[in-house]
Amino acid sequence: MMRKPIIIGNWKMNKSIHDSIIFIDELGKDSFEIEVGIAPQMITLPIVNEVKGNVLVGAQNANDHLEGAYTGEVSIALLQEINSDFCIVGHSERRQYYNETNKSVNDKTKLLLDAKIMPVVCVGESLEEYEAGKTNEVIKEQINNSLADVSIADCVVAYEPVWAIGTGKTATTQTAQEVCKFIREELAKMYSQEEADKVRIQYGGSVKPSNIGELMACPDIDGALVGGASLEIASFKELINY
């Protein structure tokens, strides 16, 4: 099964409009054998879209309601209107700081698919859960509830152990592969092996130019979701040219 690798940089709440344009304009002029995406701050999305070239540009979040009285939120309809290529949902920072639940992740995923925007659905266990040997249990629950009743082949799933995000600690390649394989097995139970084999699964958590090669060589890892190492163009370019 050939799945096109996909590496996405999540800029979180970093970079000015000016710096975002310069970065994406330069990156977008390159051609890639894989899919390369950047999720900048929401307000810059329609602006960098103008210069994105070969880069996919997407959002870091959107609301789980179609429209209405949700002060400060951004609708998926608006993301569709500005041609957002993808949207990250269920990032652990959103689950942790903004009470995002598997139910809201599932609702967002469905709305995104209706709007033909690719959902990048994040799952991952906390340090406590990891140390208690509960990784598979937690991942199973997140996968079953966040990804129920969706067109699964159109989703990207990102496995991001929370303890490895921004900490410099990476899961060993073996652990990352084992959990990504487990995710695919769960998806096969929920859907079918054929559908599960089409899903691209990313690993995220302190991915750097020095470890991307061995991660991408794993049979069930089809890409990476990258925070820190996506902020400098040199390191991000090195990374996507693994």
Residues that bind ligand PEP (CB under 6 A): 10, 160, 165-166, 204-207, 225-229
Angular region, 186: left φ>0, alpha ψ -120 to 50, beta rest = alpha
Q: Which residue is nearest to ligand PEP (CB)?
A: 227
Angle between helices 233-240 and 209-216 (to 10 degrees): 20
160 is catalytic: yes
Q: Which residue, 102 or 170, has its beta carbon nearer to ligand PEP?
A: 170
Q: Given 35, 93, 125, 160, which residue is catalytic?
A: 160
Q: Which residue, 96 or 193, has its beta carbon nearer to ligand PEP?
A: 96
Interatomic CA distance for residues 4 and 91, integer angstroms: 22
Q: Which residue, 15 or 51, has its beta carbon nearer to ligand PEP?
A: 15
Number of Cβ within 10 Å of residue 129's Cβ equals 17
- DSSP annotation of 215 reads H
Interatomic CA distance for residues 84 and 86, integer angstroms: 6
Closest approach of ligand PEP to the CB of residue 37, in Å: 12
Angular region, 109: left φ>0, alpha ψ -120 to 50, beta rest = alpha
Closest approach of ligand PEP to the CB of residue 202, in Å: 9
Q: Which residue, 183 or 207, has its beta carbon nearer to ligand PEP?
A: 207
Looking at this protein, which amino acid is placed at residue 193? Q
Closest approach of ligand PEP to the CB of residue 208, in Å: 8
Q: Given 35, 91, 100, 186, which residue is catalytic?
A: 91
Closest approach of ligand PEP to the CB of residue 2, in Å: 25
Whether the CA torsion 193, 197, 199, 200 is positive or negative: it is: positive
185 is catalytic: no
**Catalytically annotated residues:** 91, 160
